[in-house]
Structures are given as C-alpha cells and as structure tokens.
Amino acid sequence: MRMPDSFNKYLDETGATSRFTYRYFHELVRPRYEIRQFLRQCYLIGYTSLPLIGITGFIMGLVLTIQLRPSLISYGVESQLPVMVALAIVREIGPVITALIFAGKISSSIGAELGSMKVTEQIDAMEVSGTNPFKYLVVTRVAASTLMLPVLVMISDAISLYGSYLGVNIRGNTSLRLFFFQVFQTLQFGDVLPAFIKTFFFGFAIGIIGCYKGYNSSKGTEGVGRSANSAVVVSSLMVFIIDLIAVQITDILGLN
C-alpha cells in the first residue's frame, strides 16, 4: 500500500525533528558550555519580550473582567469576579496566550535568524572557526526560551491580575489588598503548579521548532521566509497540543 506523499513528508519531518531534539539534549550536557551566549540569549529572548507580554497581559486581565461581569451579575455572584478571573488567567489563559505571543515573536525571529545564517554560510563559517554551531546557536537559544517563558508567564499573570483589579474597580469598589486577598485565598497549589510546569514545555517547543526550521532552511531568501513562517505555525500548534496533553495528565494525577 502506498502512503500519500504529504503523509510521508509529515513522517519525515517528525523523524527529523525528533533527531534534532535528541541532538539538543546530547549537546546540552556535553562540555563545552557556551555560558556567555546563553546569557545573551536570555536577555534577547526574555527581556526584550517584556513590553509586549506586559501590555497584552494587562489588556487580557482588564477585558476578561469587563466581559465576565454581566454573566456573574445575572447569576448573582458578582463578588466572585476577582476569583473567577484569577482562576481563568492563572490556569489557562495566561500561559497559553503568553506562549502564543512568545511563539509569534521568538520562534519566527529565531527561524529567520538561523535560516539566514544558514544560507549565507555563517553556520559553516562558525564550524571552521573551531566552534560547534549547534551548541553556540541552537542549544543556547532553546535553553534560553525554555527558561524565559515561565518567567514571562509569571510576570504576565501578575500584570493581568492588576488589570483585572482595575477592571473590577470600573463599576465596583475594592481595594488592592482585598482583591489579592480574595484571589490568593482561592488559588490552590493545584491551580498554579501544573500551569507553571507546562510553560517550560511551551518554551522548549517554541525554541526547538524555531531552531529546527531555521537550521534546516533551504537555500535562498525564499527559504528563510518559509522557515520563519512555518516556525510560527508549527510552534503555535504545538502550544495547543501540549496544553491538551497537560490537561489530561493533571486530570489523571487528580491535581484538578
């Protein structure tokens, strides 16, 4: 029986990505360690994403609060507004939306950067300069995005909650202390931990897919564009897939 070509291509791609991921872990643990490059990437990937993540987080919290209020009023539980919003943000919306924005910004820029380095032979040039380009370029970027996304999500969550506090205060009246007291009283360990853990996987997937697409970019500027584009598409899709898997696992473990 013959498989359709597109299916074969999909399998090829999956296999190649797995080998790439295997190589990542293999090179991650072996010396030499590119510490300076890693810190530089943490700065570039993490710090420079802060404004974008902050603004979207703030708007998310504010809008969600305004949207939820009428429903809660109709059920007569308006006082639960801060709690509802906090649960939604911390458990699901914060990590996923932040990861999607991160994917759009970081995955595409890594894909385009490594892609253009590939087609202009910069990666070959590194190799003849006594540098392992996989360590120097890929390992540092993937490690940085794995570690930076969780931090960004925490910051985004905090800003979202502040946005939500302002949202509550548009029509109601609550103090910042009361708001956060209410929020933290309801939020449980089981709400925070799984959400926090899955962000590492989001960050890892976004980094590795961006690097894979760029590192295997085909010749020509068109190839670079295609790498950047498919890096965003695939890594955004992966965020949802990982989210789906994560929710099943937390369910099985009874952390809900």
Let me know the angle formed at the C-alpha of 39 by 36 and 122, rounded to the nearest 5 degrees. Answer: 60
Does 128 participate in binding another protein (rule CB under 8 A)? yes
Binding residue (CB under 8 A) for another protein from 17, 21, 131, 174? 131
Confirm or reject binding of residue 216 to another protein (CB under 8 A). no
Q: Does 27 bind another protein (CB under 8 A)?
A: no
Q: Least CB distance from residue 233 to another protein, whole Å?
A: 25
| Minimum CB distance to another protein, residue 114 (Å) | 11
State the minimum distance, in angstroms, from the CB of residue 244 to another protein. 37
Q: b/e for 83-105, b at 16 or more Cβ within 10 A?
A: bbbbbbbbbebbbbbbbbbbbbb
Q: How far apart are CA 82 and CA 73, in angstroms?
A: 13
Check binding of 21 to another protein (CB under 8 A): no
Cβ closest to another protein, residue 28 vs residue 158: 28
Distance of CA 128 to the CA centre of its chain: 34
Distance of alpha carbon 165 from the chain centroid: 25
**Judged by CB, which is closer to another protein: 8, or 120?**
120
**How many residues belong to the site for another protein (CB under 8 A)?**
15
Rounded Cα distance, 42 and 190, in Å:
29
End-to-end CA gap in the chain: 45
Q: Is residue 34 close enough to count as binding another protein by CB under 8 A?
A: no
Output the smallest distance, CB 25 to another protein, in A.
Answer: 19
SS (H, E, C) 135-183: HHHHHHHHHHHHHHHHHHHHHHHHHHHHHHHHHHHHHCCCCHHHHHHHH
Residue entry with tokens 């099985």: 252
Cis status of the peptide bond prior to 177, with omega within 30 of 0: no
Does the protein bind another protein through residue 29 (CB under 8 A)? no
Q: Report if residue 229 touches another protein, rule: CB under 8 A.
A: no
Among 12, 27, 121, 222, binds another protein (CB under 8 A): 121
User: Closest approach of Cβ 116 to another protein, in Å?
Assistant: 8
Smallest gap from residue 126 Cβ to another protein (A):
8
Q: Is 120 among the residues that bind another protein (CB under 8 A)? A: yes
Give the CB-side neighbour count of residue 158, counting CA atoms within 13 A.
6
Structure tokens belonging to residue 103 = 């994917």
Is position 251 an interface residue for another protein (rule: CB under 8 A)? no
Q: What is the x/- site pattern for another protein, positions 87-116, by CB under 8 A?
A: --------------------------x--x
Q: Which residues bind another protein (CB under 8 A)?
A: 113, 116-117, 119-122, 124-131
